[in-house]
Structure 1
Amino acid sequence: MSKESNQEQGSALVFIFGFCLLLGAVLSFFADSVNLKKNLRAKFEREVSLKQSAENLTELAISHILNKTTAYDAPEHFRITPNRINAFLSADYQATVEIRDEGSRFNPNNLPISYWQEYFHNSPQSYERLYAWSFRQENQAGNLSTTIRNNYLLTLEDLQEVLAETPAPSSLTIFGPANYYLIDGEVLVSLLLRSGLQMSSVAIETTIENFNSNRNQIFTENIATLLSQLHLPELPKLDKIEQLLTAKGSINPNFIEPAYLRLLVPEGKGRDFSDLSLLQKEQPFISITAFEDYLCNQHGISISREKIARLFSVKSKVFGIYVSIYNQDKQGLLELNTIVQRGWAEQEDSWQIIYRRENWLSGKKESDD
């Protein structure tokens, strides 16, 4: 065989070898691309499935509350059995569903400074941080004799940032309307401003003075009637203010903590209400009358029936529903925190979602609704 022929054969072999390498690389690329698409699709389908499961479990919790036959809400009513939860999950996953009464917790946005001072008396740094957050000096009108709060805890992140050092931050909330019979003039003005009402400095000062002088002289559930007694230069839009303010009892004695209860009842300061937690679990109050008897007979506290009815209710109004889904190795995958309000638009069986937050624990970004 000639030298030229050998060279040609060698070149052909090199070409074929190179072509095979290129073909292998192309096939490998396409195989990797197919695998990547499969993995992305599998991940997408997994996330869709998990999100749907979390939604279904949230709906289960709402149905659980709606289908309750008793005329009162208590801790024992908020438990959902594992079997009912597992019915909404594939065999690869587990979940917990927690139902909370948010409306019976201490809400700094809706309460006077005097309540803050008492509630946080063992944590003065929490009071100072809350005051600095809520009363931003740069936004204060210089011609007002009363300082008005102009900033609020609007998200759970705000709550955590400002009050993380509180001994029991889980006992606080930012959800639910203020109670007309617990606020003072400063809180009322802040709520009127939040509702979109424009007020002059004179109107602000007059409203504060009128409210502080005349509050608790009339008991009614009608917000429009109560506001008409204040002789405001202009009334707020009723649908706006009713989202922020209520005159109906909404604090459930079956969920309230002793530290908050001490602020709400006469001569409550100094009482520990050490028996309250056990009663809530084992012998919950089935009516406001039962709660009134407890205060009177067990603690010697007398409170007018009109006032107790305007502050308390054994039917919870604002609920937190916390769903946590994890795999068989107990690794968290998805959390969904939903806040719902019952009795929206004056209908007892109506619900409105007022907050929703999903938190992916497997690398996906958190999202708020």
Structure 2
Amino acid sequence: MAARRRFGSIRRRESGRYQVRYPGPDGQQRTAPETFARKSEAERYLTLIEGQILRGEWIDPERGKVTLTDYAARWIVERPNLRPRTIGLYSGLLTRHITPYIGGIPIGKLTTPIIREWRTKLLESGVSVGTTAKAYRLLRAVLMTAVREDELIRTNPCRIPGADQENAPERPVLTVSQVFALAEKLGGRYRALVLVTTFASLRWGEVAALQRRDLDTDDGIVHIRQSLVEIGGQGVVLGPPKSRAGVRTVSLPAVILPWLRIHLAEYVADDPAAFVFTGPKGGFLRRGNFRKLVGWSDAVAAIGMPNLHFHDLRHTGNTLASRTGASLRDLMTRMGHDSPRAALIYQHASTEADAAIADALSAVLAAQQGSVPPPAPRPDDTPEDGAAGALVPA
């Protein structure tokens, strides 16, 4: 028989455990999702629920029954400002590292111990600290929306100190001599790719998306307007840069312009829409097969940097630019970095300041490479079939 109380009721079941029922703010009777071993525990539960209702903090437990897989998938679809690459990243993290472990659990049942156990399993299975941190940050963001916007759960169970930190090791920085050595090792249509990526501080997607109209080799300027992204199930997609600040104009060091002019003459069609850096058959460069295509492992080993990633070229360019004494604002603009507070400020830094960075880089390059004379035609630089024109001297 249920014990009568001012708020709710408690009934002892045949099992000996206590069941709780109470009226929600809408007048409908609710049953607690769990039974209790002691009557005092059931009474504390009712006191807690009554307080939540009086403070306007009560959430119907039925709302938290949606599984994490279903809610997270809808969460991605309902984020209208996500860029294609971000959608691909989030979908991959969910598919590989989240839903196989805890995707079937209703979000209202997720607890901090469950999240902690999930994270431990990822690390024990060989998932890197960096990837695990990315998956944790995504899960935390999804559940924060469930708390703050959709009001499906009261608190976010992602409360593990340090779980969002990647603690990635410092990436290597090439010397100027090593950059030019790597460019020579790759040679041909990939020589200018190395130089432009490094000394313009470009991301992979940004340099792969460059078109002839984006380059001004007279004034030494490259316009970053778009980014090439590979999305599972869709292939290669052209989209906006990584952030609003990614749309920018970058001044190139004058020292590398002769190589760029030669590249345009040899490998790029005389069409403003022609892509600047492509594969041997004229197709898009793809991150997945780039290393094998160009013999990256052998080339970086030859210059003494066997663990070098392509993104380390941008990191090198950023580091060299920072050594020119430019202001933080001008550096952030050149690099295409964004922040919630200062995106537009960085985006509108003066082009004169950016040109000064390029001039200073030219001085550094010239000092470390000797005079760096314009490249002479090489026997292995003969135009490939379908290449746009013969070698044009600087």
Q: Flag whether TM exceeds 0.5 (same fold).
A: no
| TM-score after normalising by structure 2 | 0.23
| TM-score after normalising by structure 1 | 0.24
